[in-house]
Amino acid sequence: MNKQWDIIVAGGGMSGLCAAISAAELGASVLLIEKAEEVGGNANLSAGMMWTFKEYEKIREYIPNGDSELQNLLASNIQSTLAWLENYGLPIGVPEQVAGEAWGRCMNVGKAGDRRSFTQKMVEVLRSLGAAVELNTSIKQIEYNQLDEQVIVEVENKGQSVKYLASSLVIATGGFVANPDMLERYLGKYAKNLMIRSIPSCTGDGIQLALQMGAETSGDMGTFYGHTMPCAEIPPEEFQPITPYFARCSVLIDKHGKRFTDESKGKLEETNPQAAMNLPDGEYYLIFDERIYQEYGINQNLAASLPKADLLKRMIELGATVLSAPSINELADELERIGVNRQNMINVIAEYNDYCKDLNKDIFPPKVQNRIPLNVPPYYAVKCVPAISCTFGGLKIDNQFRVLNKKQEALPGIYACGLDAGGVFQTYYAGGLAWSAVSGKKAGQSAFSYVRSSALKR
């Protein structure tokens, strides 16, 4: 294996693959290293929908605390980025509406929860451009040799340490969703309540190494994208298919029988696990009726290409606690048997139903959207836990995806993309695969420009 490269890309998820392809197509010698035994990262476990808002104004309205410059890059480049991937023969579906106001295109191979066949095709494209790919290879150290203007990248493969030289490094290691220590540091002590709805290799390696070089963090490091999930042992390939996105249309209560958040704030119910994480025991209950399940559960009403599924049946098969009863009072009896305050639950549902009928009524917490009364039996309750899919905070970057230090100066030759590049989302979510594709492509192009300009100076 060659020990010197124009560009090394650390991480083989969607952002790393796009960074490597975009750099290689411009003529750079590229090495992509991936910690896991396969490429694809969390894209492999996804629904496959590459979506976001096409209009910057809509992203900004939905995520006002995110980095406006990065949000504009996302909105203005998503359509051309997906067309770019399609031009390489990657199977991508037709444009469709997502979550009401957004836009996206779905991977047209594989299935929800298993999109490996798509990311494998991306690797084929990458190798056809002359790039090299090393699996089971972790990044362990980054140094910058100022005299030679080279990045020294130390990696480990099967217990063996190897050092590579590169003119530039693109960090795309997938955030720190699977690092308990970093989660506790940035999200707080109740991060221990979170189910990890992710591959296990996203442990913040690239972020930590860049911080050791003096990099700055960006965005709210304490917010994340996740979901309400049934309390059960769930195989990774079923993380996405079994997710009850319809929690946004339902009622969530804690063990005291009380609501604790506006269930409808997030378009994909992504704010609910952020609120539920801080419940002392991390457990809560999803309450809904037959109408909600038929209209928003079996068909989640998020995108036409996503399949219908009987989620309750599969939850029961996996051992989740799923209760049903012909009346709210009888459902409350069932919940009381597992430790939920019966009378509070009855009162909360009655108050909520009154609130749904009269828009002038007040309720706390309020429910701004999806005011759907629970009045069609049978009634259901699912014991749930908050789950985290990815972190929003990461490294501070500029509009060229250069990693910045605390003085807002670029670290020479160091770029970041995907979930390692923080700030585009905060609290609310608008398409991680879309951001990974756009930011990866742009980071690869910027790294190539840096390599070329460095060569001209010599």
What pLDDT digit, counting tens, does each position of 234-285 carry? 999 999 999 999 999 999 999 999 999 999 999 999 999 999 999 988 999 9
Q: Report d(CA 11, CA 288) in Å as an integer.
A: 40
Q: What is the arithmetic mean of pLDDT over 96-124?
A: 95
Q: Where are the beta strands (DSSP E) in 24-74?
A: 30-33, 49-52
Q: What is the arithmetic mean of pLDDT over 53-61?
A: 96
Tokens of 167: 């003119």
Neighbouring C-beta atoms of residue 266, cutoff 10 Å: 25
Query: Is residue 422 a contact partner of residue 216, using CB atoms and an 8 Å limit?
Result: no
Q: Is the pLDDT of residue 29 over 70?
A: yes
What is the structure's pLDDT at 301? 82
* Alpha-carbon distances of 50 from 92, 97, 106, rounded to whole Å: 9, 11, 6
Neighbouring C-beta atoms of residue 380, cutoff 10 Å: 22
What is the structure's pLDDT at 457? 65
Q: What is the arithmetic mean of pLDDT over 11-19?
A: 98
Query: Is residue 176 a contact partner of residue 182, using CB atoms and an 8 Å limit?
Result: yes
Instruction: Name the residue type at position 208.
Output: Q
What pLDDT digit, counting tens, does each position of 376-435 carry? 999 999 999 999 999 999 999 999 999 999 999 999 999 999 999 999 999 999 999 999
What is the structure's pLDDT at 458? 57
Comparing C-alpha atoms, which of 115, 128, 99 is closest to residue 45?
115
- First CA to last CA distance, the chain: 26
The confidence band for 302, taking pLDDT boundaries of 50, 70 and 90, is: confident
The confidence band for 148, taking pLDDT boundaries of 50, 70 and 90, is: confident
What is the structure's pLDDT at 1? 60
The fraction of the chain above a pLDDT of 70, given in percent, is: 99
Query: Is residue 293 a contact partner of residue 315, using CB atoms and an 8 Å limit?
Result: no
Query: Is residue 356 a contact partner of residue 166, using CB atoms and an 8 Å limit?
Result: no
What is the structure's pLDDT at 456? 65
Q: Is the pLDDT of residue 121 over 70?
A: yes
What is the structure's pLDDT at 454? 79
* Opening angle at CA 60, ends 94 and 220, nearest 5: 110
